[in-house]
Amino acid sequence: MPAQIYHLISFLVAAVVVLWTTPDVKNIGIKSGKVDQPGGRKVHQRPMVRLGGVSIFAGTITSLLVVWWLGGFSGLPPEKEWQIWGVTLGGFGFFLIGLADDLLNLSPLARLVMQVIVASCAWKAGVSIDFITVPAMGIVYLYWLSLPITVIWLVGMVNAINWIDGLDGLAAGVSGIAAVVMLVVALFMNQPAAALIAAAIAGAALGFLRYNFNPAQIFMGDGGAYFMGFTLAAVGVIGLVKIPAFTAVLLPYLILAVPIVDMSAVILARLRHGKSPFSADKRHLHHRLLNAGLSHRWTVLFIYCLTLWVGSLALAVAGIPSGITYACIATSLLSFAIWRVWKLSR
């Protein structure tokens, strides 16, 4: 069977499972009363089930199990097998933390401690940033710095995706676009195992949009956001960062630039005003666009365009054939979106 067929199967199985299970998860959430009430900084106007992460997790894991059964992960060296286990079990751990927060409302400190523990276990399994490639210097090994840098990256991306999950379809769409770009780049970089996981995440995220795009019928909750954030960050590590090339090291940060920049800007703004970095407010990009007069849908679509644009830049930087053409097309689309946003905000 051609290797690309496994990636198509991974994408389709994840999407089908999510499409099939999400209505059942929604009904279970309604019957059990596990809903997110409107009010405060939230933009939804009615109680919403926030257990969609269960479907996303189920779709991704089912997809990977099917591909493994078909032989898609066969022939991997032991080191790569450990990395795949690290991504899978680490994703399971972060999903459980998020699900516990959805059901029990954990404190920020408890969440952070558990996130650091799970990220450290993933590092031990091989999901680790061991070196960086510096122009004119070559490979610089991190040694003992590998653990804190890896943990900061993994935990940071988990919370970046969670924080951007403020509008219907926003986190799912951004994660889906990023996963598709990561899939293409990983295949080009000859990292088929990492590409299989990216394909599963892409199928799960884009399948979930059927029920999560505005007007949403269900939210992914912290369980879904934590799982997708960790998995995207971990795939970036095992599929791209471990390649000894300067451009490869930069790619995960470029592909995920939108949630990274959004989180960084919010944290800096909170610190500048003397507030805790974890205090909730309305400083995120989607809040600012809404305040500028954009509709819910146009805000989400504009951030999709931003994500697609940085993803196209990643394709060009990776040296993918026609990558520059894709970047030019995405730049034209973003330019139109900016013009439209400017016109609507006026």
> What string of pLDDT tens digits covers the 346 residues of the chain?
667 799 999 999 999 999 999 999 999 988 887 776 665 555 555 678 889 999 999 999 999 999 999 988 888 888 888 999 999 999 999 999 999 999 888 888 999 999 999 999 999 999 999 888 777 777 788 889 999 999 999 999 999 999 998 899 999 999 999 999 999 999 998 899 999 999 999 999 999 999 999 888 999 999 999 999 999 999 999 988 777 666 777 889 999 999 999 999 988 988 887 787 777 778 888 888 888 888 889 999 999 999 999 999 999 998 888 889 999 999 999 999 989 888 877 6
Using alpha carbons, list the distances in angstroms from residue 57 to 117, 143, 208, 232. 20, 33, 11, 13
Crossing angle of helices 78-104 and 53-70, in 10° steps, is: 160
Contact present, 205 and 56 (Cβ < 8 Å): yes
User: How far, rounded to the nearest angstrom, does the alpha carbon of residue 169 sit from its chain's CA centroid?
Assistant: 13
